[in-house]
Amino acid sequence: MTQAEIVRQSLKRRYRKERRFRAYGIAAIAIALAALVILFTDIVGKGHTAFIKTTLTMEVTLDGEMMYLDDASDPRQLKNADFVEPLIQALMREIPGATESNRAQVRDLINPYASNQLRDALKDNPDLLGTTQTMTFLSHTNVDVYVKHAGDDAYSIKLNEQQRQWVDHLVESGVVQNSFNDVLFSRGDSRDPSRAGILGAIVGSLLTMIVTLLLSFPIGVAAAIYLEEFAPQNRLTDFIEVNINNLAAVPSIIFGLLGLAVFINLFGMPRSVPVVGGLVLTLMTLPTIIISSRAAIKSVPPSIREAAEGMGASKMQVVLHHVLPLAMPGMLTGSIIGMAQALGETAPLLLIGMVAFIVDVPDGFLDSATVLPVQVFLWAGSPELAFIERASAAIMVLLTFLISMNALAIFMRKRLERRW
């Protein structure tokens, strides 16, 4: 056999190997993409129902006698009046066959906070006393779960047979209705899933991000300018560079330890406030911003610098008037990506106490707050599936923010960055 024949005979096997290798590559990509698809479908599948709320629309008779209330403009009477009874009566009228003996079961269909809504309505307009009004209230979480997930084994329905029949009837008669869950976007956290919202977390995230952006962008850009343009070649500069590269790879939870030890214990700053969260996230994102800003400065061609220097500009004028504006799009892109990372970060914020249960929407940088990813973490740990549903919805909102930020960064990179 000649050499050529040996080679020719082995060709078939070698080509088979080639095809197999290629198939491995395709399989690897398929696995990665499948994971992405499964992740997204899982979250959308778990969470899309959280965007729907279940309400009860009833004719409520605001009978003063029943409520122990004869003057609705008197705050003391309002405080002590019974606002649950009119709701029960209104709902019992809608349910054929419900008698006084069932009242506890009927009451369990109404959201415990619905009476507050009735009180607020009377507080705003005392003249409503004695009239009959058509009003819409949130249903009890158990009704919400039953209406949305009746056939789903994963959810445990906490209504008895009788109550289920009633709810089925009420759905048919249009008393129980589903509509867009505006509660989710207009309230803070709550112990009651049907009243829990992510507005508090969104505002908390926003405040934290403002602090992070205001600190990390100027500091990051200034540091990048120094290292690229002014730093002399010496040990100190090398040491700074080594530090930045290492900080970029330090686990985020270490920054949480730093925040806890320095900002909270040493400086005595309050726990769980956006300022401290922002400071910790600033330290965490700075390396990312510095590294990308340096790349942006590096990409400005030397001809620009030489031309400016030739016109008699000082080094600082060259940098601030010519290099910086040209590098700005690249710096902004890097910063948006850094901010997106900071927005999704959870671990360091757990350590500085942003895991507290906070009902109110924060109204300042020094107000206790939580952030969107931490809210996801808190709800995901709940044994109630209604909270898991809302955690998925919060994830969808978080991912929407992140994807739009990254899309903006890609758009800016394509549109604004100049190729030289």
Q: Does 357 bind other proteins (CB under 8 A)?
A: no
In the bound state with other proteins, the residue whose beta carbon lies nearer, of 162 and 252, is: 252
What gap in Å lies between CA 300 and CA 331, rounded to an integer?
12
Q: Which of positions 325-354 make contact with other proteins (CB under 8 A)?
A: 340, 343-347, 350-351, 353
Q: Does 194 bind other proteins (CB under 8 A)?
A: no
Of 109, 201, 290, 336, the one binding other proteins (CB under 8 A) is 290
Q: Does 125 bind other proteins (CB under 8 A)?
A: no
Q: Does 266 bind other proteins (CB under 8 A)?
A: yes
Helix (H) or strand (E) holding 274, with range, is helix 274-298
Q: Which of positions 76-95 make contact with other proteins (CB under 8 A)?
A: none
What gap in Å lies between CA 369 and CA 354, rounded to an integer?
6
Task: Give yes or no for a contact between 260 and 347, defined as CB atoms under 8 angstroms apart.
Answer: no
Q: Does 318 bind other proteins (CB under 8 A)?
A: no
- One-character DSSP codes across 137-193: EEBPHHHHHHHHHTT-TTSPP---HHHHHHHHHHHHHTSEEEEE-THHHH----SSG
> Residue 302 CB, nearest distance to other proteins (Å)?
20
Q: Does 230 bind other proteins (CB under 8 A)?
A: yes
In the bound state with other proteins, the residue whose beta carbon lies nearer, of 86 and 256, is: 256
Angle value at C-alpha 127, between 126 and 130, nearest 5 degrees: 105
Residue type for position 121: A
Q: Which of 398, 378, 374, 403 is nearest to 388 (CA)?
A: 378
Handedness of CA 230, 236, 242, 243 (dihedral sign): negative
Task: Give yes or no for a contact between 277 and 349, defined as CB atoms under 8 angstroms apart.
Answer: yes
> Residue 24 CB, nearest distance to other proteins (Å)?
5
Task: Take residue 43 and report the two structure tokens written for it.
Answer: 């979250």
> Residue 20 CB, nearest distance to other proteins (Å)?
8
What gap in Å lies between CA 75 and CA 167, rounded to an integer?
35
> Residue 15 CB, nearest distance to other proteins (Å)?
7
Task: Give yes or no for a contact between 280 and 255, defined as CB atoms under 8 angstroms apart.
Answer: yes
Q: Which of positions 367-386 make contact with other proteins (CB under 8 A)?
A: 373-374, 376-377, 380-381
> Residue 74 CB, nearest distance to other proteins (Å)?
25
Q: Does 251 bind other proteins (CB under 8 A)?
A: yes
In the bound state with other proteins, the residue whose beta carbon lies nearer, of 116 and 243, is: 243
Q: Does 296 bind other proteins (CB under 8 A)?
A: no
Of 249, 303, 312, 383, the one binding other proteins (CB under 8 A) is 249
Q: Does 210 bind other proteins (CB under 8 A)?
A: no
* Integer CA distances (angstroms), 168 to 136, 173, 219, 352, 386, in order: 18, 9, 60, 47, 20
In the bound state with other proteins, the residue whose beta carbon lies nearer, of 51 and 365, is: 365
Q: Does 121 bind other proteins (CB under 8 A)?
A: no
Residue 251, SS3? Answer: coil
> Residue 395 CB, nearest distance to other proteins (Å)?
5
Q: Does 199 bind other proteins (CB under 8 A)?
A: no
In the bound state with other proteins, the residue whose beta carbon lies nearer, of 120 and 222, is: 222
Task: Take residue 183 and report the two structure tokens written for it.
Answer: 């509660």
> Residue 347 CB, nearest distance to other proteins (Å)?
4
In the bound state with other proteins, the residue whose beta carbon lies nearer, of 125 and 314, is: 314
> Residue 229 CB, nearest distance to other proteins (Å)?
8
In the bound state with other proteins, the residue whose beta carbon lies nearer, of 42 and 70, is: 42
Choose the binding region for other proteins from 77-85, 138-146, 302-310, 313-321 (rule: CB under 8 A).
Answer: 313-321
Task: Give yes or no for a contact between 326 and 420, defined as CB atoms under 8 angstroms apart.
Answer: no
Q: Which of 350, 341, 400 is nearest to 51 (CA)?
A: 400
Of 311, 316, 359, 416, the one binding other proteins (CB under 8 A) is 316
Of 52, 206, 399, 408, the one binding other proteins (CB under 8 A) is 399
Q: Does 50 bind other proteins (CB under 8 A)?
A: no
In the bound state with other proteins, the residue whose beta carbon lies nearer, of 39 and 173, is: 39
Task: Give yes or no for a contact between 344 and 316, defined as CB atoms under 8 angstroms apart.
Answer: no
Task: Take residue 281 and report the two structure tokens written for it.
Answer: 């996230």
In the bound state with other proteins, the residue whose beta carbon lies nearer, of 163 and 346, is: 346
Task: Give yes or no for a contact between 348 and 284, defined as CB atoms under 8 angstroms apart.
Answer: yes
